[in-house]
Amino acid sequence: MFKINVKDFLSIAVSKVLIKSSKILFKGGSNFPGRVALKISSNVLKTAASGYDVILVTGTNGKTTTTSMIYNMVKDSYKNVITNATGANMLPGIVSCFTANYKWRKKDEKRYAVIEVDEANVKLVTEFISPKVITITNLFRDQLDRYGEVYTTLNKILDGINKVPDAVLVLNGDESLLGDLKLPNKTIYYGFDCAINDQSKIDINADAKFCKKCKTPYKYNYIIYNHLGDFYCENCGYKRPELDFYIERITEINSNGSLLWINGNEYYINQPGVYNIYNGLCAFSVAKTLGIKNADIFACLKSQSSSFGRQEIIDIDGKQVKIILVKNPAGFDEAINTITLDKRNISIAFLLNDNYADGRDVSWIWDVKFEKFNQMNLNKVMVSGVRLYDMAIRLKIAGLNYKDFDICENNEALLKSIQGLEAPTVYILATYTAMINLRKFLNGKGYIKKLW
């Protein structure tokens, strides 16, 4: 055993006990042990994370999936690695992750930690950890009551990056907010070097439509989705940075995954949707930055399984139920675009909550293009969650046949509705706490074996 101070020793020991107890008694509890640890020693994260090469993953959408991809790439290249797989991405949850994996006897082998971190918590983490890599997936309007507009979110992240000038930044080059940040850090950019459609005019509801330097509306050679794409400003000349890692061609994209070319090599991403191409490209870029071989990256992307609540597939009495987390207009629209790739007769459930972790303001649902569902062959539409009537009204206005809506007041009613369906395929689009509560309910019913 190597020497640590008494406070840190006690903090880590108590946290370990609480983590084990929480798993047995509550089937979870990732944040509480970390909160207690921080009460005992505010400096515990610095001690617990000592000896790790840390990769921080932040941004609005795609954090959990991208973190999982990077973790698997590092693990499959035979490296010792940990991650906060439960998605507990606030400071207490991250402390819990490190204390749970803390070894009392120090080993010489190199260790990695791939850590998902909430945007507002980056500055809290970099107070104690100097990461090897920080990657930012994208910046969209999300939880406006907590973050405000995207520029506020960017500044929260930059507050954390400013503390760690030696960290390598791996940034989404198609994200106009992330170009020319004037930071001393080595910066690597990834993005699309090809169009996926003929869209070059930005939507009225898109985020970050105006030049960050002169406020002139951006022009685009092509748009991938929302405001992500090959942008440029006609007034001041600001444009997308040169890409280090890039999608050069997409051979196939369907409801199961995508076949594409990255920097001269062909890869298959075993997760559907354009947003998962971005997640895969981000993970690829971080892996290459860490020196991981193409073969390990290829194998991981081809076999990547869904993280909980992120395209997770559950069997409910012979029905294939796919749960998709939705939390803002940009992500919801891309989830809808992905579902439209499925040409089968399907049913859809919408679960809308307004708890703190979801964001209290649900007016954002009016920016989502639910009208696209009118082009699909829907067997049944189910609506549930705390704000189910807000969602039902929005869907009615979008043109869906409200007379056929199944209003489910609770998860028990939703389960019965799913069990009675004729079509074997169900998509559940749920906000964060609605997804968590549904998974706990299905775990209690035996449909989900592993809660976290």
Burial environment of residue 15 by CB neighbours within 10 A (0 to 12, 13 to 18, 19 or more): buried
198, 175 contact by CB (below 8 A) = no
Rounded Cα gap, residues 122 and 139, in angstroms: 14
DSSP string, 391-414: HHHHHHHTT--GGGEEE-SSHHHH
DSSP symbols for 193-222: SS-SSS--S--TT-S--B-TTT-PBPEEEE
Please identify which of the residues 145, 180, 317, 361 carries the catalytic annotation: 361
Residue 210 and residue 204: Cα distance in Å, rounded? 12
Residue 354 appears among annotated catalytic residues: no
Please name the residue ranges forming H helices in 108-262. Answer: 122-125, 144-147, 150-161
No. of H helices and E strands in the chain? 14, 17
- Give yes or no for a contact between 145 and 120, defined as CB atoms under 8 angstroms apart: no
* Helix 63-76 × helix 274-289 angle, to 10°: 40
Name residue 382's beta-bridge partners.
Answer: 349, 406
Q: How far is CA 445 from the centre of its chain?
A: 27
Annotated catalytic sites, by residue? 361
